[in-house]
Amino acid sequence: MRIICKDLSFSYEPKKKNTAYALENVSLTIEEGEFFGIIGHTGSGKSTFIQHLNALVPLQSGELLVGEFDLDTKNKQYKKNLKALRSKVGMVFQYPEYQLFAESVFEDVAFGLKNFYPELSLKQIEQKVKYAIELVGLNYYQIKDKSPFDLSGGQKRRVAIAGVLVTDPEILVMDEPVAGLDPVGKKELMDLLHSFKKGNKTVIIVSHDMDEVCENCSRIAIMQGGKVVKVGKPSEVFTELPDENLELPVVARLKNALKTKGVEIDCKLESDDFIEEIVKKYKERNGR
Amino acid sequence: MQAIKIENAYFSYEEGHPAVNDISLEINQGEYIAIVGKNGSGKSTIAKLINGLLLPKSGKVSVFGLDTSDKKQVFEIRKNVGMVFQNPDNQMVATIVEDDIVFGPENIGVPREEIAKRIEFALTATNNTAFRNRPSSELSGGQKQRVAIAGVLAIRPKILILDEATSMLDPKGRSEVNEVIRKLNKEEGITVITVTHYMEEALFADRVIVTNSGQIAFSGTPEQVFSREKDIEACGLCLPRAMYIANRLKEKNILDKNLKCYTAQELESALCELFVKI
């Protein structure tokens, strides 16, 4: 599902005179199958933007198409489509493990599914829940009857994600997916997102971790004051510090500094790629 | 002066699964300690044992000689040990910044004039004076977290524990909070214990403690700890990114093996210097 957003503006107090806009003329297209990153400091409009994608915030002005769904509230099909839209656009908020509530992992994961598809038989539900739990790398039989509150932090987060993946969304939106996870947990979660994406599905992450974003996303949008100020590949976006509230990814910082000394390092913004290029450049310069 | 002494402490949330397993640790007044370790390694549990939020099931934890298991001392201990948690929104009790800071000292019955002084101190020490009359809901994450620290400071603790206090903040918020913590440690002599996932933050500490499976795997100055790359990885952690890159370049004889290179800043200078020469 492709996302096309044109001149999207949004205010939390639309009737107020001289109101502040949380989003201002945001235009952005996210292609099917992209691993897309959105960065920006607190209050830059990231959350407001992603909440538009499954109509948690209604469209005020501008256009927003998510796959075949037109999110214009004046559209006759709008209300009727909401449920289908939300089952296709999975949204995982920050620290989703705090949203677990059911008595067992099975019930927690099945909750959304039952709401979206009340007609499903118990057998079908079981099948889908099992699929989702295994997709997030957990053992279905070992975990399904446990209380979600007895799990470790990393497991809880996976269960919460399974509860979103269970409706088989086409687009997965995650707000700060790796905040609070250790390096191994981060890597596992990112691997999970990459494997989800393989079926030509779209992953959109919002993150404060510039290095994380660079290493995983094919394209990035930087938001500032409700506007998208830059969009592109990580190496295109981080040619300079985009915003004083953010920091450059380490590799971008090194690349940019070397550039001022006349040394062009052409690499992705990933540690290992950078190291390889430095070695090459060093040998080249040393005439070896 | 010794601030904290943990002797063979054991704690489990669930029978047979120790979260902290026979840990012993001594921390001196004025030290800056970073505790790092993977999820579930026991680092937050250690933090909670220190201010008596959790009590060891065996062993002993004492703060300035006071046993945390002694019920009569809990109040005294908590006055000395302030704690700041991950989510700033969960720590705000009042709508206006100043009211939020007053809450703690009022609760422990600090006289009025003294409270006024403490507010000034807490606001200044956390670079918050400009926000004193602002609704806390209007603040950014980093600002809120600084208010949370101010609220704790108004109790005048000798020890400040931060349990992943920067993990929900953006880079600017994170550096604001870190700056305040360093200042409190240096200028006010407050003992700082920070539990963190950001290896870069551990570089500021006097001593880094690495936890693994409920035990202290190893500890030392940031230099000592981060020179053990294999051990760090074995504990499920990784080096600060700049250091990782520097180490690989050292292995390839591009950077001098003895070069000190922990931060992005240091690596940047080293690389620029190198390429200007050749």
Written in H, E and C, the secondary structure of A12-70 is CCCCCCCCCCCEEEEEEEECCCCEEEEECCCCCCHHHHHHHHCCCCCCCEEEEEECCEE
Alpha carbon A216 to chain centroid, angstroms:
11
Strand locations in A207-274 (E) = 219-224, 227-232
User: Is A176 in contact with B168 (Cβ distance < 8 A)?
Assistant: yes
Tell me, yes or no, if A147 comes closer than 8 A to chain B by beta carbon: no
Integer Cα distance of A209 and A150 in angstroms: 29
Q: Which residue of A has its CA nearest to B244?
A: A271
User: Is A274 in contact with B237 (Cβ distance < 8 A)?
Assistant: no
Residues facing A37 on adjacent strands: A205, A220
User: Is B14 in contact with A150 (Cβ distance < 8 A)?
Assistant: yes
B21 vs A43, which has greater pLDDT?
B21
Integer Cα distance of A122 and A169 in angstroms: 20
Tell me, yes or no, if B137 comes closer than 8 A to chain A by beta carbon: no
In one-letter notation, the amino acid at residue B176 is E
What pLDDT band is residue B247 in, cutting at 50, 70 and 90? very high
Q: What is the pLDDT of residue A184?
A: 83
Question: Of B30, B25, B64, B18, nearest to B189 (Cα)?
Answer: B30
Rounded to an integer, the average pLDDT of A229-254 is 88
pLDDT at A287 over 80: no
Rounded to 5°, the CA angle A34-A36-A39 comes to 175
Number of helical H runs and strand E runs in chain B? 11, 10
What pLDDT band is residue A288 in, cutting at 50, 70 and 90? low
In one-letter notation, the amino acid at residue B259 is L
pLDDT in tens, A54-89: 999 999 999 999 999 999 988 888 999 999 999 999
pLDDT at A95 over 90: no
Contact B245, A271 (CB under 8 A): yes
Question: Of B168, B170, B169, nearest to A223 (Cα)?
Answer: B170
Contact A66, A89 (CB under 8 A): yes
User: Is B38 in contact with A278 (Cβ distance < 8 A)?
Assistant: no
Integer Cα distance of A260 and B16 in angstroms: 58
Number of helical H runs and strand E runs in chain A? 11, 10
Q: What is the pLDDT of residue B36?
A: 95
Q: What is the pLDDT of residue A171?
A: 96
Q: Which residue of A has its CA nearest to B266?
A: A254
Q: What is the pLDDT of residue A286?
A: 81
State how far residue A249 is from chain B, nearest Cα, in angstroms. 10
User: Is A257 in contact with B268 (Cβ distance < 8 A)?
Assistant: yes
Q: In what order do the strands lie in the sheet with A202-206?
A: A89-92, A171-175, A202-206, A35-39, A219-224, A227-232
User: Is A261 in contact with B276 (Cβ distance < 8 A)?
Assistant: yes
Tell me, yes or no, if A200 comes closer than 8 A to chain B by beta carbon: no
Q: Which residue of A has its CA nearest to B196?
A: A180
Q: Which residue of B has its CA nearest to A274?
A: B245
Tokens (6 digits) for A222:
């930087």
How far CA A229 is from CA of A32, A45, A82, B32, in Å, comes to 22, 12, 30, 39
Q: What is the pLDDT of residue B208?
A: 97
User: Is A250 in contact with B142 (Cβ distance < 8 A)?
Assistant: no
User: Is A254 in contact with B245 (Cβ distance < 8 A)?
Assistant: yes
Mutate to test the interface with B, among A93, A182, A241 (most CBs of B within 10 A): A182
Q: Where are the domains of chain A?
A: 3-248, 249-288
Residues of B with Cβ-Cβ distance to A274 under 8 angstroms: 245
pLDDT at B173 over 90: no
Q: What is the mean pLDDT of chain B?
A: 92
Q: What is the pLDDT of residue A36?
A: 97
State how far residue A41 is from chain B, nearest Cα, in angstroms. 6
Predicted model pTM: 0.86
Q: What is the pLDDT of residue A91?
A: 93
Q: What is the mean pLDDT of chain A?
A: 91
How far CA A88 is from CA of A3, A4, A54, in Å, comes to 12, 16, 8
Question: Of A128, A95, A94, A97, nearest to A111 (Cα)?
Answer: A128
Tell me, yes or no, if A239 comes closer than 8 A to chain B by beta carbon: no
pLDDT in tens, A26-39: 999 999 999 999 99
User: Is B268 in contact with A150 (Cβ distance < 8 A)?
Assistant: no
Per-residue 3-state assignment (H helix, E strand, C coil) for B179-229: HHHHHHHHHHCCEEEEECCCHHHHCCCCEEEEEECCEEEEEECHHHHHCCH
Residues facing A70 on adjacent strands: A65
Which percentage of chain A shows pLDDT scores above 90?
64
pLDDT at A235 over 60: yes
A2 vs A285, which has greater pLDDT?
A2
Q: What is the pLDDT of residue A208?
A: 85
User: Is A279 in contact with B252 (Cβ distance < 8 A)?
Assistant: yes
Contact B54, B27 (CB under 8 A): no
Q: Which residue of A has its CA nearest to B197?
A: A182
Tokens (6 digits) for A57:
């915030």
Q: What is the pLDDT of residue B87?
A: 82
Q: What is the pLDDT of residue B58?
A: 96
pLDDT at A4 over 60: yes
pLDDT in tens, A156-209: 999 999 999 999 999 999 998 888 888 888 888 899 999 988 889 999 999 988
User: Is B38 in contact with A185 (Cβ distance < 8 A)?
Assistant: yes
Tell me, yes or no, if A153 comes closer than 8 A to chain B by beta carbon: yes
Reported ipTM: 0.82
Mutate to test the interface with A, among B197, B243, B247, B261 (most CBs of A within 10 A): B197
**Range among A248-252, B85-89, B171-175, B214-218 rated most confident:** B214-218
A202 vs B144, which has greater pLDDT?
A202
Q: What is the pLDDT of residue A114?
A: 94
Contact A161, A136 (CB under 8 A): yes
Q: What is the pLDDT of residue A98?
A: 84
Q: What is the pLDDT of residue A216?
A: 94
Say how many residues make up chain A: 288
Q: Report the topology of domain A3-248.
A: Rossmann fold (3.40.50)
Closest in A182, A183, A275 to B245, CB measured: A275
Tell me, yes or no, if B278 comes closer than 8 A to chain A by beta carbon: yes
Q: Taking CB atoms and an 8 Å cut-off, how many pairs form between chains A and B?
A: 109
How far CA B1 is from CA of A102, A278, B104, B191, in Å, comes to 49, 48, 26, 11
Rounded to an integer, the average pLDDT of B180-200 is 93
Contact A227, A25 (CB under 8 A): yes
Q: Which residue of A has its CA nearest to B36?
A: A182
User: Is B170 in contact with A42 (Cβ distance < 8 A)?
Assistant: yes
Integer Cα distance of B13 and A149 in angstroms: 12
Integer Cα distance of A240 and A228 in angstroms: 16
Rounded to 5°, the CA angle A105-A107-A110 comes to 105
